[in-house]
Amino acid sequence: MELLHVGLAALGAGLAVVGAAIGVGKIGGSAMDAIARQPEASGKIQTAMIIAAALVEGVALFGVVAALLGVLTT
Amino acid sequence: MIAHKSLKIIVTFTLALALLPFNAFAKDDSQAEESKDEFNPTDMIMHHIGDSHGWHFFGEGDSSFTLPLPVILFTEEDGFVTFMSSEFHHDTEGHHVVEKDGMRFVNYHEDIYKLDAGAETVEFDEEHNVLNASKPWDFSITKNVAAMFLTVILMLIFFFGLAGHHKKSKNAPAGFNNILETLVLFVRDEIARPQIGDKKYMKFMPFLLTVFFFIWITNLLGLLPGAANVTGNIAVTVSLGLFTLALILINGNKDFWQHTLWMPGIPTFVKPILAVVEVLGLIIKPVALMIRLFANITAGHIIILSLIGLIFILESAGVAGISVPFALFITVLELLVAFLQAFIFTMLSALFIGMAVAEHEHH
């Protein structure tokens, strides 16, 4: 029973990470495209990219923390 | 040349892998009797990322090298009680009783309990409610607090040095002060100015610089062996997030509150719904800041400890050939994360403050 809880929590954390991976991948790819098109704006693009990536990553970390709490309280 | 290098790496890894099973077999019969207290990776990791009342560096039990730290307790009946954490003799299972001013304390899993009269150790019922003891207010200088003091002292030394230079001369500083000034200018020109605006950024520079350097230095100190996991403690990041929230609330101008609570230009019946969403967003912003920093740093520590723990789980020295280089790789990655998280926290704080103080043009 406890193993099931831990397994489900791990699965949840994994799903959150998959979502974040897609998000960060798209952000990174688009930033690459943008920098390739306008290399002179790379500084601004990088800043915007890091902010967007951090916001996406934050959501994934919510999932991971929730999963961690699930594991630690069983 | 590159192919040659990667070949070398592959050979090394294969050798390490090949060594693995033999070592495991060799240890099988000789160590069977010794493994009565089995290695528990969860306990090990939780012990390393958690807070504690003494600063443990290495070793076990009484022969360990631990820096004793003051324990400061407040009980409602008898006021403050202080003693050094070394009086517990490294006991965290609630067996060693410390007597002070007629009160008896035990340390159970780094929570300090005050025992009732006649009790020898803490006992719990099934729902983990304590039966024969009470929990005093704990204001101890724990490992995390001590590590924060260390950061504060370092920051005072660094920045009084830099400020002292600028009081005396008008030339650019040399050496270490020059590095610091580069970083200060980085925070000003890359974070504060673009996010808050040229007119108002000066007011928030002290906060942004303090937060940036505090998080960065504590992150870097946390990567040292035996160091505390300060920014991976949710209480610390909650406080940092609350500072940002307070600055947003205090400095929010009329436009900001109007756009939060009763935004113009939309139908009236939508306004209450959006106001709820906006107020929730106001709270979620610092919560996201807090979770991001906490989870990033804690995750990094857990990964490194898990990789090292693999050696002891598989009981084979051959695993070290793989897990130590991986742990080193993650540690180097953590150096980047340490900076990135300080940058992100400061950047997003500046962004949120900038949103609160922005002047809107009314058409």
Nearest C-alpha neighbor of B180 from the set B165, B168, B191, B170: B165
Number of other CB atoms surrounding residue B20 within 10 Å: 18
Chain B interface mutation, best of A47, A72, A73, A74, highest count of B Cβ atoms under 10 Å: A47
Domain membership of residue A53 (yes or no) is yes
Sign of CA dihedral B290, A9, A54, B230: positive
Chain B residues with at least one Cβ partner in A under 8 Å: 190, 194, 288, 291-292, 294-296, 299, 340, 343-344, 347-348, 351
pLDDT at position B101 is: 80
Domain membership of residue A27 (yes or no) is yes
Nearest CA in chain B to A71: B42
Burial of B68 (0-12, 13-18, 19+ CB in 10 A): middle
The string of pLDDT tens digits covering residues B286-301 is 998 998 999 889 988 9
Sign of CA dihedral A22, A28, A31, A33: negative
Domain membership of residue A1 (yes or no) is no
What torsion, rounded to 10 degrees, do the Cα atoms B48, B51, B56, B60 define? -60
Nearest C-alpha neighbor of B158 from the set B181, B135, B140: B181
The string of pLDDT tens digits covering residues B97-156 is 888 887 888 888 888 888 888 777 788 887 778 888 888 888 999 999 999 999 999 999
Using the beta-carbon criterion (under 8 Å), do B291 and A54 form an inter-chain contact? no
Asked if the interface predicted TM-score (ipTM) of this complex is over 0.85, the answer is no
Chain B interface mutation, best of A42, A55, A65, A72, highest count of B Cβ atoms under 10 Å: A65
Domain membership of residue A37 (yes or no) is yes
d(CA B297, CA B293): 6
Tally of structural domains, chain A: 1
The string of pLDDT tens digits covering residues B33-60 is 444 467 888 888 888 888 888 888 887 7
Sign of CA dihedral A49, A52, A56, A61: positive
Report chain A residues whose CB lies below 8 A from the CB of B292: 54, 57-58, 61
Task: Give the pLDDT band (50/70/90) at residue A74.
Answer: low
pLDDT at position A60 is: 84
Interfacial A residues in 11-70 facing B (CB < 8 Å): 47, 50-51, 54-55, 57-58, 61-62, 64-65
Domain membership of residue A41 (yes or no) is yes
Which residues of chain B fall short of a pLDDT of 70?
1-37, 361-363
Domain membership of residue A7 (yes or no) is no
**CB-CB: which of A47, A50, A58 is closest to B292?**
A58
Cα first-last separation, chain B:
64
Q: What CATH number is given to the structural domain containing A34?
A: 1.20.20.10
Using the beta-carbon criterion (under 8 Å), do B347 and A62 form an inter-chain contact? no
Whether B290 contacts B344, CB under 8 Å: no
Domain membership of residue A62 (yes or no) is yes
* A45 vs B25: which has the higher pLDDT: A45
**CB-CB: which of B194, B292, B294 is closest to A57?**
B292
d(CA B256, CA B358): 8
Output the average pLDDT for chain A: 87
Nearest CA in chain A to B342: A54
Domain membership of residue A45 (yes or no) is yes
Question: In which domain, by residue range, is A56 found?
Answer: 12-73
